[in-house]
Amino acid sequence: MFDERKLDGIKSSLNKWKKNNVEKAISEFPERKGKFTTTSNIEVKRLYTPLDIAEMDYEEDLGYPGQYPYTRGVQPTMYRGRLWTMRQYAGFGNAEESNRRYKYLLEQGQTGLSIAFDLPTQIGYDSDDALSEGEVGKVGVAIDSLKDMETLFDGIPLEKVSTSMTINAPASVLLAMYIAVGEKQGISPDKLRGTIQNDILKEYIARGTYIFPPEQSMRLITNIFEYCSKEVPWWNTISISGYHIREAGSTASQELAFTLADGIAYVEAAIKAGLDVDDFAPRLSFFFNSHNDLFEEVAKFRAARRLWARIMKERFKAKNPKSMQLKFHTQTAGSTLTAQQPDNNIIRVAIQTLAAILGGTQSLHTNSRDEALALPTEDSVRIALRTQQIFGYESGVTETIDPLGGSFYVESLTNEIEDQAVKYIETIDALGGVSKAIENGYIQKEIQNAAYKYQMEVEAKEQVLIGVNKFIVEEEAKKDLLKVDPQVELKQREKLAKLKAERDNIKVDSSLELLKEKASTDENLMPYILEAVKSYASLGEICNVLREVFGEYEQSVIL
Amino acid sequence: MDRPIRVLVAKPGLDGHDRGAKVVARALRDAGMEVIYTGLRQTPEQIVAAAIQEDVDVVAMSILSGAHNHLFPKVVNLLRGEGADDILVIGGGVIPDDDIPGLKDAGIEAIFTPGTATSDIIYFINNNLKR
């Protein structure tokens, strides 16, 4: 990027600076640490200069926003056109309560919904299942049938909001419910906008809400890709997620590498199922974590865009530019929040918010200060949303595109993170792909090693955590935490019993029977799941039919 | 003691957050204990069966989903039913302060919340074994 002669000049002036200024300074005042590193163990130099990015080619490696390789952003105007979607992940208790919270968030200026489901829903059990005891309505809203889904979106016009649903193993069932609610509101599927997470590979790696074995899960996923490309064209059919990989303890470059490796596996599966890459790839979306190391995070987001664009173009021969654009949602890092002095978490979230914005995210969830203690209260959620709004409307960081582009440090970090991710992807390819690398525990082990190393550094106080291992104060027990009413579970079970008594059970049985029959063929299952949903078959009933045909995943326990 | 302390690290319920459980398991192992990790989605019955079969001294459970008030006491009760009340039962996870006294009354002898050092857990186990 620079003139050769100028670079030579910089080389000698840099050496001079080191000799004349730095060495003297260090001899009088040693630096704080012998070695400075990022979370990905990239050594951070004292100073970055043009020499660190001398090999870069502006047009090839950075280019322009909205142009390949999209390092600087996926849209030509970015936040000058429109700010990112402010999308707070929420849901608890029953559909009525969650519906009230969504309406509150929309009134507060939130621009998209993000639905949190409880664990039974995420794993395809009804609220009256023995395995659901104690879990109903806890980490999200309990949805047993289309009836609950109708209540959840009551009074919320689906053509006006985009809705993200954190649902994976039973994603096709919840998507079918959303389509059915839309129909009841008089909105056709081609008007619906939103995202389902639908990323089963990271469930096996890090998040744990799997149901079926990998092959059958991949079939359900490619069924959704195919169905939506025809019927629900604006729907993002998957959100390939690094978030949970990072929460499980990975480094930034591992997060990027394992996420893109999962992405490669989905593209391969869809191509193998007979789809054309440019038919589904434009609807793939990603979901990343935003951590405390501001510059490393910005570098990660930039590297993600560039690397994915190159993978799609070179490895998969995509032709449509949209297939090469990595669009992503971001959530601030729950695992960085401390139970101690929880108001400090507001500052952590603010740093992570800035990283996501400087990294060019398309949508953002900001965590609430009290999440290391319990579900967030309404006040805490409002502060979290206001954090985004203050950056968006007051800070000025949105006025130009990719403001850190060209920073010697950030560009150098972007290159290094990309290199690390490429090496990991090569290793995974050599192991035979992601499924193999999960089966033999390679990916889980890499993440666990990083998590353990971090914990040991915290305990040795090499990694400072304010309020936890430094600047500790005596604190009183926290009051005013949000609690889910234990009655929710009982009420949910009663609702389900009533539904089962009142619905047309002959219709339910025949739709389930048909689904079961089709599950052992290679037909696309989406239309049959939709029929079952509309007959008010419950989520558990539908998933149990599929369990019978597909079997269940057995986790390999890696320690 | 002529044999290492044996610990069952368990994830009851449907919660998939096992970063903490795995870090603790590894720290206990590095501290010289024998550690068995159950993996995810264990019912209280499965945990108790594993504890008895593996003849452990400690059951250490982790829940971040909010189901602790239901699942932790159930494990203690089932252990008592099996006459295994000499097993030390401890728990951890995202557990509100208000819930801790109730859990202790139910027989969970210590609750470790976010920010706990693994060395504190090791110290507690070494000093509170029941057999």
pLDDT in tens, A228-272: 999 999 999 999 999 999 999 999 999 999 999 999 999 999 999
pLDDT at B108 over 70: yes
Among the residue ranges A478-482, B43-47, B72-76, B99-103, the one predicted with the least confidence is: A478-482
- The reported pLDDT for the residue numbered B50 is 97
Chain B residues whose beta carbon lies within 8 Å of the beta carbon of residue A122: 14
Place of tokens 């050599």: A430
Place of tokens 């209280």: B44
User: Are A146 and A531 in contact, with CB atoms under 8 Å apart?
Assistant: no
Residue A469 in any domain: the answer is: no
User: How far apart, in whole angstroms, are the C-alpha atoms of residue A371 and residue A89?
Assistant: 12
Q: What is the extent of the structural domain holding A521?
A: 491-550
Higher per-residue pLDDT: A375 or A502: A502
- The reported pLDDT for the residue numbered A483 is 81
Residue B78 in any domain: the answer is: yes
> Span A535-553, mean pLDDT?
98
Residue A556 in any domain: the answer is: no
Mean pLDDT of chain A: 96
User: How far apart, in whole angstroms, are the C-alpha atoms of residue A154 and residue A185?
Assistant: 9
User: How far apart, in whole angstroms, are the C-alpha atoms of residue A223 and residue A527?
Assistant: 10
pLDDT at A313 over 90: yes
Which of the residues A121, A207, A337, A557 would you substitute to probe the B interface, choosing the one with the greatest number of B C-beta atoms within 10 Å? A557
Interchain contact B81–A (C-beta under 8 A): no
Where is the domain boundary, A459, A480, A506?
A: A459
Place of tokens 């960085």: A336
Angle between helices A442-459 and A408-431 in degrees, nearest 10: 140
The answer to whether A134 contacts B39, with C-beta atoms less than 8 Å apart, is no
User: How far apart, in whole angstroms, are the C-alpha atoms of residue A151 and residue A165?
Assistant: 16
Residue B111 in any domain: the answer is: yes
Q: What are phi and psi of B120, to 5 degrees?
A: -65, -40
Q: Parallel, antiparallel, or unpaired for β A235-236 and A328-332?
A: unpaired
Residue B99 in any domain: the answer is: yes
Summarize pLDDT for A1-33 with one digit per residue, the tens: 789 999 999 999 999 999 999 999 999 999 999
How many beta-carbon contacts under 8 Å exist across A and B?
104
| Sign for the pseudo-dihedral over CA of A378, A384, A386, A392 | negative
> Span A288-309, mean pLDDT?
98
Angle between helices B19-30 and A442-459 in degrees, nearest 10: 70
Chain A residues whose beta carbon lies within 8 Å of the beta carbon of residue B27: 452, 455
Q: What is the ipTM, given to two decimal places?
A: 0.95
The answer to whether B113 contacts A339, with C-beta atoms less than 8 Å apart, is yes
CA distance A518 to chain B (A): 29
Which of the residues B7, B19, B26, B113 would you substitute to probe the A interface, choosing the one with the greatest number of A C-beta atoms within 10 Å? B19
Spell out the alpha helix ranges (H) of chain B.
19-30, 44-53, 68-81, 100-105, 118-128
If asked whether residues A501 and A422 sit together in one domain, one would say no
> Span B92-98, mean pLDDT?
93
User: Are A114 and A166 in contact, with CB atoms under 8 Å apart?
Assistant: yes
Please list the helix, strand and coil fractions of chain A in percent, rounded to the nearest 5, in that order: 55, 10, 40
Residue A388 in any domain: the answer is: yes
If asked whether residues A67 and A203 sit together in one domain, one would say yes
Q: Closest chain A residue to B24 measured between Cα atoms?
A: A452
Residue A183 in any domain: the answer is: yes
Residue A39 in any domain: the answer is: no
If asked whether residues A140 and A238 sit together in one domain, one would say yes
A108 CB-near residues (< 8 Å, 6+ apart)? A382, A385
If asked whether residues A413 and A530 sit together in one domain, one would say no
The answer to whether B38 contacts A557, with C-beta atoms less than 8 Å apart, is yes
Percent of chain A with pLDDT over 70: 100
If asked whether residues A290 and A370 sit together in one domain, one would say yes
CATH of the domain at B91: 3.40.50.280
Per the structure, how many domains does chain B have?
1
pLDDT at A373 over 90: no
A92 CB-near residues (< 8 Å, 6+ apart)? A98, A101, A116, A118, A137, A138, A139, A140, A141, A375, A482, A484
Residue B1 in any domain: the answer is: no
Per the structure, how many domains does chain A have?
2
User: Are B78 and B44 in contact, with CB atoms under 8 Å apart?
Assistant: yes
Q: What is the extent of the structural domain holding B89?
A: 6-128
Among the residue ranges A48-62, A371-385, B93-107, the one predicted with the least confidence is: A371-385
Residue A62 in any domain: the answer is: yes
pLDDT at B1 over 70: no
If asked whether residues A247 and A335 sit together in one domain, one would say yes
CA geometry: angle at A260 spanning A256 and A266, to 5°?
155
pLDDT at A410 over 90: yes
What is the number of other CB atoms lying within 10 angstroms of the CB of residue B123? 12
- The reported pLDDT for the residue numbered A524 is 98
The answer to whether B96 contacts A452, with C-beta atoms less than 8 Å apart, is no
Residue A18 in any domain: the answer is: no
- The reported pLDDT for the residue numbered A288 is 98
